[in-house]
Each structure stands twice: as structure tokens, then as C-alpha cells.
């Protein structure tokens, strides 16, 4: 198996690495993230049982006997129902490239948003702040409309904070002084509305005796992302992260996405996004007890097709049906999730001085300056993908 063991608590003599080394470290987190997901589901309901297995797999297009993928197999069992998930995850060959359909592909990396992101334009009046928990779970705090959005659901900010910080009346008093909440106490019906309308848990009575912030922190914030927030903001739990959002709003903190200090490099999160979607179904299903309806299945090639083709530049780099070799490049992309009508935010279309010597401004999409950036080989980042601009390249 091509996954090296990764321990966040383990430290070496330096706190940085080069891009080529980061690929190997980031790929090593795939197994740990998946293990974290399934432990969480089993912890919620011990009747849900699973068995994870990794084994090497050979490309169906090549006969050289080499193993180019790691085949992930997950046996799922819940009450009287069971199924099996298999998924092919590209193996990092010589710590440098993938082999897909007999072609060589250097892993594409994303220059992703910081864990806390802010829209800075006149229309939003600097009042919209995002929490990027992972590729699936993202919160949006719109202080202008006084709503909180999560997975296409929304609830009033007043109800959200009163339910979320019910056990912290002192903080609620602060929020009331800031005119973020109108009252301190919440009713049972408001708690029900929070879990049903916002979190989409219809078995809301499951949460009657559960501390909601602790529960959401435990199951929404996987360990991998917890470490990222701690690295950026020195907070590692959801209640404190949300307090940091309020702090950014009150202080009118600007987050300039053209600065490398407000970005991070990722690969794993996009690679396994289909598995993160699957975790969402499991998480909601095990609470609502949907039995066989929630045990998800996944196309064996979902990671390579949905994870790459579906999200990364319409698939022209990772098209497994393309028999021709593609150029080997180190390419870093903007977060395509928020690119609308083919346009990027203006702040992303310029080159900040923090990128000089670390990012090449020559792009493969000259019409969208800044849409695609090529990293220099001497860019230094830490194990969480944070670009260390203090180091000379």
C-alpha cells in the first residue's frame, strides 16, 4: 500500500517542506480521514459496523504488472442490511506522479481558501464570512441578512447562536450587546427548528439531551481539519471557531485572497470528495435510522472521475478515457467552487507581492489571469498546506 503513516503529533527538525514532498504527506492523510469518518459513525450507533481494507490494484489499461492504484474496500453493515463499497484511489508513483489510463499525471494541487474566508465587495458590505470545514461541510455567516447557511439550508442568526451557545450565557450577552441576537434563551420549538430546518436531522428528539455544539464539533470537524484550524487560528473546536468568525466581523478583519497567507495548498480534500459526500449520507442516515436507504454505494472510479473530472477544470487533466499522454506540470488552481460565469473575484486576478518568487504569474488560462498558477519548486509550505512566505525561495 502506498499510504505512509502520518502522525500530526510527530515533528521533525523543520516545520516546512517543498511542494514535491507535500504531495506524499497529503496523500498519507487519505487513510486517516476515512478511518476517522467511520469511527464517528460507529460511535454514534454501534449497530453500524464496518471493515476497511486496502490492496494494490493494476491499471486495466496496462499489462506491466505494476500496481498504480490502491483499491479501497469498505464492508458496511447496519442491522439486517449490508453492502460493500469499492473505490480506486490513484497511487503516487515515485512520490511524484499518477498513472491513469497509461498516461502520466502530476497531482494537481489547489490553492484553496483559508479556513475562514470573507467576501470583500461592495454588494456584500464585507458582512459575509465563510467557515471552510472541508470540501462538503461549509458554513456561511451573512451578517447583513442575519442568517447562517449550511448545506443549502439556512436559519436565522438569532436562533443559531441562542441554540449553539445555550450553555454559555455570558457570551450570549456579548452577542446581544453587538445586536447579533435579540434574546438569550431559546425555546424547545426553536431548538427543533434548528435541528430540522438547518441541520436537516428530522429525528430532532435524538438531540434533546445532547450538547449540540459538542456533538457537531465531534462529528462535523474531522481531526484533519481540526489541526488545520489550530494551525491558522490556534483554535481547534467548532464553538471557538465560530467565536473567531464573530471576532472577524466585529473587527472588520479583511481577508485578502490574493495574499498567500490567506490561502493553503490542498490535494487530498478534492481527491476524496466523493467519500466526504458519502460520509454525509452516513452521518444523517444513522441518526434518522433509514436502514438500507442510507447505506451508500459509490462507483468504483468515483474518486478518479467525480473527484478529478467533475471538479478539476472539466476533466481535461484527469480524463481516464483519454489514451494520450498529457504534459507533466505542477499546477495550482483557484477554488473553482466560487467561480461564477467564468469570472474570478477581482482580488484573485492580481498578483500580490507575497507571491513573487513563489508563484509564476504565467497561467495556462491567460483570459482569467490568476485562475491557474504554477508553483515554483522552491515554495515552502507546512504539513497543513500553509504557504510559508517568511522563508526565502
Higher-confidence residue of 91 and 7: namely 91
Average pLDDT for residues 24-37, to the nearest whole number? 91
What pLDDT shows up at residue 61? 58
Q: Does the structure show a pLDDT above 60 at 367?
A: no
Task: Assess contact for 24 and 268: CB atoms under 8 A.
Answer: no
Greatest mean pLDDT range, 114-118, 184-188, 208-212, 354-358: 184-188
How does the average pLDDT of the chain come out, rounded?
Answer: 77
Distance from C-alpha of 78 to C-alpha of 22, rounded to nearest angstrom: 37
Q: Which residue has the higher pLDDT, 218 or 136?
A: 218
Cα–Cα dist 3/33, whole Å: 12
Do 188 and 13 meet the contact criterion of CB atoms below 8 Å apart? no
**Do the beta carbons of residue 117 and residue 130 sit within 8 Å?**
yes
Mean pLDDT to the nearest integer, 7-23: 68
Residue 334's closest CA among 106, 111, 116, 117? 111
Segment 201-212 shows an average pLDDT of 84
* Residues 6+ away with beta carbon under 8 Å from 161: 172, 175, 180, 181
Query: How far is it between the farthest Cα atoms of the chain?
Result: 69
Cα-based angle 21, 57, 92 (whole degrees, multiple of 5): 10
How far is 214 from 96, CA to CA, in rounded Å?
Answer: 40
Question: For 182-196, what is the mean pLDDT?
Answer: 90
Residue with cell 484511489: 89
Give the Cα separation of 290 and 293 in Å (integer).
5
pLDDT band, residue 102 (cuts 50/70/90): low
Strands 332-333 and 109-113: parallel
18-22: average pLDDT? 80
Mean pLDDT of 322-341: 43
Amino acid at each position: 500500500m502506498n499510504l505512509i503513516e502520518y502522525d500530526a503529533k510527530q515533528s521533525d527538525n523543520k516545520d516546512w517542506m517543498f511542494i514535491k514532498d507535500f504531495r506524499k504527506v497529503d496523500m498519507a492523510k487519505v487513510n486517516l480521514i476515512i478511518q476517522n469518518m467511520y469511527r464517528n459513525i460507529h460511535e454514534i450507533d454501534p449497530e453500524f459496523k464496518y471493515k476497511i481494507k486496502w490492496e494494490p490494484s493494476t491499471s486495466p489499461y496496462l499489462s506491466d504488472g505494476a500496481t498504480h492504484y490502491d483499491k479501497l474496500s469498505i464492508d458496511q453493515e447496519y442491522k439486517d442490511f449490508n453492502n460493500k463499497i469499492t473505490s480506486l484511489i490513484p497511487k503516487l508513483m515515485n512520490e511524484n506522479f499518477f498513472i491513469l489510463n497509461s498516461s502520466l499525471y502530476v497531482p494537481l494541487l489547489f490553492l484553496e481558501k483559508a479556513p475562514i474566508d470573507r467576501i470583500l465587495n461592495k454588494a456584500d458590505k464585507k458582512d459575509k464570512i465563510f467557515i471552510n470545514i472541508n470540501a462538503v461541510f461549509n458554513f456561511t455567516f451573512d451578517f447583513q441578512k442575519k442568517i447562517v447557511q449550511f448545506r443549502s439550508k439556512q436559519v436565522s442568526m438569532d436562533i443559531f447562536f441562542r441554540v449553539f451557545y445555550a450553555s454559555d450565557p455570558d457570551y450570549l450577552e456579548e452577542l446581544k450587546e453587538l445586536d447579533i441576537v435579540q434574546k438569550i434563551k431559546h425555546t424547545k420549538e426553536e431548538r427543533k427548528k434548528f435541528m430540522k430546518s438547518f441541520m436537516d436531522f428530522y429525528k430532532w428528539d435524538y438531540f434533546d439531551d445532547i450538547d449540540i455544539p459538542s456533538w457537531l464539533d465531534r462529528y462535523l470537524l474531522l481531526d484533519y481539519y481540526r489541526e488545520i484550524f489550530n494551525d491558522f487560528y490556534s483554535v481547534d473546536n467548532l464553538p471557538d471557531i465560530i467565536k473567531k468568525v464573530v471576532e472577524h466581523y466585529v473587527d472588520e478583519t479583511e481577508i485578502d485572497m490574493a495574499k498567500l497567507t490567506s490561502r493553503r495548498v490542498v490535494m487530498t480534500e478534492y481527491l476524496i470528495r466523493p467519500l466526504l459526500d458519502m460520509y454525509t449520507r452516513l452521518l444523517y442516515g444513522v441518526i434518522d435510522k433509514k436502514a438500507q436507504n442510507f447505506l451508500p454505494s459509490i462507483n468504483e472510479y468515483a474518486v478518479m472521475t467525480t473527484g478529478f473530472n467533475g471538479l478539476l477544470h472539466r476533466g481535461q487533466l484527469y480524463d481516464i478515457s483519454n489514451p494520450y499522454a498529457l504534459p507533466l506540470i505542477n499546477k495550482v488552481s483557484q477554488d473553482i467552487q466560487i467561480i461564477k460565469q467564468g469570472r474570478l473575484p477581482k482580488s484573485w486576478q492580481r498578483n500580490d507581492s507575497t507571491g513573487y518568487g513563489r508563484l509564476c504569474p504565467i497561467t495556462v488560462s491567460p483570459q482569467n489571469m490568476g485562475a491557474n498558477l504554477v508553483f515554483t519548486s522552491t515554495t515552502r509550505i507546512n504539513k497543513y498546506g500553509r504557504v510559508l512566505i517568511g522563508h526565502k525561495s
